[in-house]
Structure 1
Amino acid sequence: MNTSKIILLLMSLSFFAFKTLKTNPAVLFLNALNNEQKSKALLDFNDPLKDKWHYLPHSMFVREGISIKELQHEQKQLLFNLLQTSLSKSGYNKTRKIIDLENVLAKISGDPVYRDSEKYYATFYGNPATDKIWSWSFEGHHISLNFTISGKKTSFSPRFFGSNPATITTGKRKGERTLYKEDDLALKLINTFSKDQKQQASLKNRTFKDIYTKNKSKVKALKTTGISFKDLNKEQQKELLQLITVHIAYMPEEKAANKLNKIKEEGLDAIHFSWSGAYQVNKPHYYRIQGKSFVAEFDNLQNNAKHIHVVWRDFNGDFGRDLIREHYEKVPH
């Protein structure tokens, strides 16, 4: 290839990179911030706070980053656009509904300071405009979304959603159940089990008050419990895969499909389904799905089974650890 062709190729690549940055929702959001706001939102990629997360209300867990409350209208729109492009349609809608549950709780409690729907925080680790690998999180009460981006690859874990109340009993959203799919599909599955299958699935002599993995920075594979995928009949296997699909459906469609394919490639027989508690809605219950590389947990235990927590953890991929390792292996530092 002669010199002129090389120059043209480099110019073309540079233009493409510039065009990509101009339309990158993360870059657009950060560029809309003033210097003071940006200093709060943008931290070093290796900041020790990156792996710290929680799902408590803002007054119970101090968070880094910049809150929705500190943003102007246009800046808020750019942040929500970033969320919308980072999640599937259902994942984004679920996020917005959970945020709005703070307004429901504010009316119930009469405390709009403690229940503040604008105390959700965006934090960036590394600069999406200049860095080849970077992370960002969006977090507040009952939401923890953590993304690590390396080229076209994205890590989406840990991911936490919660719903309180599990069923809204008053107001314009009366009757709404924000996390109903994660609940109903699991209840449908467990109620197809035979007595022997229920015994296999049962987490015997275990009483849960919350998700078992809590807010740990890193989670290793838990002790294998419950009923194996291979011990389910064909219809039950199909329903368990549907339930797993619901748990990863917060990702954009293509990413979710890739995730499900990876889980299948790891071996479906490695998947175990465990249960504790009642077999009906609005009664306390907990379940766990664990495969070779992941664990998903669901509980509806607090407030007399009116308060749901759902979490997804990747044993090697939480906070993009697999992408970071791959990046450092390829790129000298």
Structure 2
Amino acid sequence: MGGTGAESTAAELRAAVHALLKVLDPEQVRELRTAPSRLDAPELREWTYLPGSRPGLSTEALDGEQRAAVDGVLAAAHGTLGAELALGAIEVERHRRELVGAPGPDRYWLRLLGDPDTDGPWGWRMNGHHLAVHVVVAGEDVRVTPHFIGAEPARIAEGPHAGRRLLGPEEDLARELVTGLDRTRRTSAIFATEPPDDILTRDDPFADPGVLPPGLTYDAMTTPQQQLVERLVHRYLDRAPAAYAQACWSELRRRGLDGISFAWAGGTDPGDRHYYCVRTPEFLIEYDNTQDDGNHAHSVWRHLRHDWGIDLLRAHYTDQHTPRDPGQG
């Protein structure tokens, strides 16, 4: 497919949605399109990563062809790593249901917002237990946050997937960073011996970086420590399509990497209950593995300007209400 990376992503998202619409019956399309008329409606910023039903098309009763089309929509909003994690969260959730004696079909809900065949903004979201993906497209620009992936169990102990740790690299990179700090730097980085029981921003409509601890700043780290925190940041950015991930990283570099900070709470040995966060001027990252004795992980990436595509929607709706210069076409 030609064009820039951003153009390719927007085109792939449209193609994936069209492929899904072709295999749904009229009632399913009606459920899929459950949405307010404007993508900046406040109710569309309500979300949760807990179990329970949501508005939209449920995956529970879809046939194989329809479910494959839903997976295609989900994959189109991610880079390779992100698609593996999003689909992996669904697989781990299947394992969890089997563990508690409640096997059955997947229960996630997909909503199509707006119309991908018009010039207006549009998008979709897919939500369910431990999965929350939110996509907004305006022209060729794409936004993909808030983005939440969870894993319960964080480490699968038995069965054909024994040993699998869906969010293992997210945990291991951060632990390598904190355990490599000297006493002085650890004092700055570790803000509590007892970790919080969940991510601190929870499912707030807008992420407030002020609820996060200040942590150890990038400029106070050694070069190897700086490289580790950069790898950790990239691990989250690489969930997104490559062009958008690169744009976020480039903006962070322009703003200055010294704006990065890292904070940790809890134990530092594998298996210990723990939490960490990364703050930057543009976005924040949180991870916790505290519930179920440290075998139940949450991870989230929030963008302070891009969540819900607010920047794109504001620009679009402002432009709609800006009087045109009579001298223009």
Structure 1 and Structure 2 fold alike (TM over 0.5): yes
Contact 2:290 2:297 (C-alpha < 8 Å) held by counterparts:
yes
Q: Counterpart of 1:247?
A: 236
Match of 1:211, as an amino acid? I
- Which residue of structure 1 lines up, in the alignment, with residue 77 of structure 2? 86
Find the partner of 1:293 among 278, 282, 292. Answer: 282
From the superposition, tell whether residues 35 and 48 of structure 1 become closer, same or farther in structure 2 (CA, over 3 Å). farther
Change (3 A) 1:255 1:273: same
Q: C-alpha separation between the residues in 2 aligned to 1:218 and 1:173?
A: 36
Does residue 195 (structure 1) correspond to residue 186 (structure 2)? The answer is: no
Name the counterpart of 1:35. 26
Counterpart residue number, 2:4:
none
Q: Matched residues in 2 for 1:220 and 1:323: separation?
A: 20
Cα distance, 1:21–1:269 mapped onto 2, change above 3 Å = closer
- The one-letter code matched in structure 2 to 1:246 is R
Question: What is the rounded CA distance, in whole Å, between the counterparts of 2:277 and 2:222 in structure 1?
Answer: 19
**Match in the other structure for 1:283:** 272
Q: Paired residue for 1:135?
A: 123
Counterparts of 1:22 and 1:83, CA distance in 2 = 9
Relative to structure 1, is the Cα distance of residues 56 and 85 closer, same or farther in structure 2, using a 3 angstrom cutoff? Answer: same
Tell me what 2:196 maps to: 208
- In structure 2, relative to structure 1, the CA distance for the partners of 1:205 and 1:178 (3 Å cut) is closer
Contact 1:21 1:129 in 2 (8 A): no
1:283–1:81 Cα change, 3 Å = same
SS at match of 1:128: coil
Q: How far 1:271 sits from its partner (Å)?
A: 1.2
Residue 179 of structure 1: aligned partner: 167
Give the secondary structure class of the aligned counterpart of 1:238: helix
Q: CA deviation at 1:48?
A: 4.4
Indicate the residue corresponding to 1:309 in structure 2. 298
Query: What residue in structure 2 maps to residue 12 of structure 1?
Result: none
Counterpart in 1 of 2:44?
50
Q: 1 CA distance for matches of 2:204 and 2:164?
A: 30
- Say which SS state the counterpart of residue 80 (structure 1) adopts: helix
**Preserved CA contact (<8 Å) 1:100 1:117:** no
- Partner SS, residue 67 of structure 2: helix
Distance (Å, rounded) in 2 between the aligned partners of 1:50 and 1:27: 22
Closer, same or farther: CA 236–148 of 1 in aligned 2, 3 Å: same
Cα-Cα RMSD: 1.9
Preserved contact between residue 294 and residue 313 of structure 1 (Cα < 8 Å): yes
TM-superposed deviation, 1:67: 1.3
Q: How much has 1:181 moved relative to structure 2?
A: 0.8
Shift of 1:23: 6.5
The answer (yes or no) to whether the contact 1:168–1:176 under 8 Å persists in 2 is yes
Deviation string for 1:149-191 (max 9, x for gaps)?
Answer: 1111111110101011111011000011000010000011111
Q: Deviations over 1:56-113 (max 9, x none)?
A: 123xxx301101123232222221111122111111111122111122112211122x
Q: 2:136 aligned to 133, 137, 148, which one?
A: 148
Gaps of 5+ in 2: 1-10, 323-329
Offset, 1:238: 0.9
Q: How far apart, in 1, do the equivalents of 2:97 and 2:70 lie?
A: 24
Report the CA distance between 1:270 and its aligned residue: 1.3
Separation in structure 2 between the aligned mates of residue 282 and residue 315 of structure 1, nearest angstrom: 32
1:71 aligned onto 2:62: yes
Give the AA of the match of 1:292: P
For residues 110 and 77 of structure 1, the distance between their equivalents in structure 2, rounded to whole angstroms, comes to: 26
For residues 223-273 of structure 1, the C-alpha deviation after alignment (integer angstroms, 9 at most, x for no partner) is: 561111000011111110000000111112222111111111122111111
SS in structure 1 at match of 2:116: coil
Q: Does 1:271 align with 2:260?
A: yes
Within 5 Å, give how 1:218-237 maps onto structure 2: 218-222=206-210, 225-237=214-226
Alpha-carbon deviations, 1:179-232, whole Å to 9, x = none? Answer: 001000001111110000000112147641100000011123315611110000
> Cα gap change, 1:188/1:28 in structure 2, threshold over 3 Å: closer, same or farther?
same
Hey, what's the Cα distance between the residues in 2 that align with 1:23 and 1:147?
12
Secondary structure of the 1:169 match is: coil
1:111 aligns with 2:99: no
Moved more, 47-56 or 312-321: 47-56
Structure 1 unaligned blocks of 5 or more? 1-19
Paired residue secondary structure (1:57): coil
TM-superposition CA deviations, 1:278-330 (whole Å, max 9, x none) = 11221011101001121110001001100100011112211111111122233
Match of 2:325 in 1: none
| Aligned counterparts of 2:157 and 2:140: Cα–Cα separation in 1 | 43
CA 1:269/1:117 → structure 2, altered by over 3 Å: closer, same or farther?
farther
Greater CA radius of gyration, 1 or 2? 1
TM-score by length of 1: 0.87
Aligned partner of 1:56: which letter? Answer: L
Give aligned pairs, total.
308
